[in-house]
Amino acid sequence: MNAELRIGLFGRGRLASAIVAAAPAAGVALAWQAGRGEAPGGPSDVAVDASVAQAVVDHLDWALATGTNLVIGTTGWFLPDLEARIGGRIGVLTASNFSLSVALMARLAKVLGRFAALDPARDPYLFEHHHRLKADAPSGTAQLLAAALQAGCPRKTEWTLGPAAPHQLSVGVLRAGAEFGTHTVGLDAPAEVLELTHRARSRAPFAEGALAAARWLRGRKGLFTMDDLAREVLDPLFDFGGTP
Ligand SMILES: NC(=O)c1ccc[n+]([C@@H]2O[C@H](COP(=O)([O-])OP(=O)(O)OC[C@H]3O[C@@H](n4cnc5c(N)ncnc54)[C@H](OP(=O)(O)O)[C@@H]3O)[C@@H](O)[C@H]2O)c1
């Protein structure tokens, strides 16, 4: 039996509150929680960032200075030198979406992309809908899925919002109401349409995934993504019995 995990939490918003609510059932103790202008309150095994993009660098610097492993769930930031900054000193796991179902969807999106690559008449696309308060667009998850579709379909060299040239993947974004997060990847062909949709009914899948990520990251060093965790569960699903 693993010792109880003690996490610290940056943020006091919607995702952070869902993580706090999910922690007891996951056997995780909350060591501290720090919102805007608040300092982390003591040692923790792993810290989780569920704040705002602008705060991520400060939280990473704090994690490096204190030797604390950090799960970054916040989206909308860009740190191309993240791996060099970490330098193998701590463990960092980044996840634009903590849902295991979305990790599966990203793999299936790559397969959809490959299928589209077989026939230029198969046009891949992506659509996402979030609540009206979400700050970034397209969502981090949409960008993850776009990258997966593009990896499968090399003729789509970039993505764009709305109308797209033949080499571009068309991405649709809707910000309205209270939607937790819906993502659709699809293929439009002259005589048929194939779509795959993920819809979150609450923030529970994200909160539970954040806690699973914190547990997984404990004691590791280096840079990881949610896919490194998901691989252990998902890889066996793609074994079709020895078919090449
Ligand atoms: N990975 C995933 O599965 C997943 C799922 C859902 C959301 N997200 C992402 O997680 C982030 C948070 O989402 P949310 O819906 O919880 O947003 P939110 O409700 O707006 O919460 C953000 C929180 O961060 C606080 N904050 C601002 N600056 C801070 C700082 N320097 N240090 C600590 N906290 C600070 C905000 O405080 P104030 O209100 O005082 O500004 C607020 O409490 C977003 O980037 C979102 O896209 C990721």
The CATH number given to whatever domain includes residue 48 is: 3.40.50.720
CA 113 / ligand 1 centre spacing (Å): 32
Same-domain pairing of 120 and 176: yes
Same-domain pairing of 15 and 36: yes
Q: Is 130 a catalytic residue?
A: yes
Same-domain pairing of 89 and 40: yes
Whether the CB of 155 sits within 6 Å of ligand 1: no
CA 13 / ligand 1 centre spacing (Å): 5
Same-domain pairing of 116 and 190: yes
CB 34 within 8 A of CB 10: yes
Whether the CB of 91 sits within 6 Å of ligand 1: no
List pLDDT tens digits, range 19-51: 999 999 999 999 999 999 999 998 999 999 999
Same-domain pairing of 73 and 105: no
Annotated catalytic residue within 110, 129, 134, 183: 134
The domain that contains 110 carries what CATH number? 3.30.360.10
| pLDDT digit string (tens) for the chain, length 244 residues | 457 999 999 999 999 999 999 999 999 999 999 999 999 998 999 999 999 999 999 999 999 999 999 999 999 999 999 999 999 999 999 999 999 999 999 999 999 999 999 999 999 999 999 999 998 999 999 999 999 999 999 999 999 998 999 999 999 999 999 999 999 999 999 999 999 999 999 999 999 999 999 999 999 999 999 999 999 999 999 988 876 6
What is the count of structural domains for the chain?
2
Same-domain pairing of 167 and 112: yes
d(CA 224, CA 233): 16
Q: Taken in order 50, 56, 58, 63, is the CA torsion positive or negative?
A: positive
pTM here? Answer: 0.90
Q: Is 156 a catalytic residue?
A: no
183 DSSP β-pair partners:
128, 198
Domain that holds residue 164: 100-199
Same-domain pairing of 114 and 80: no
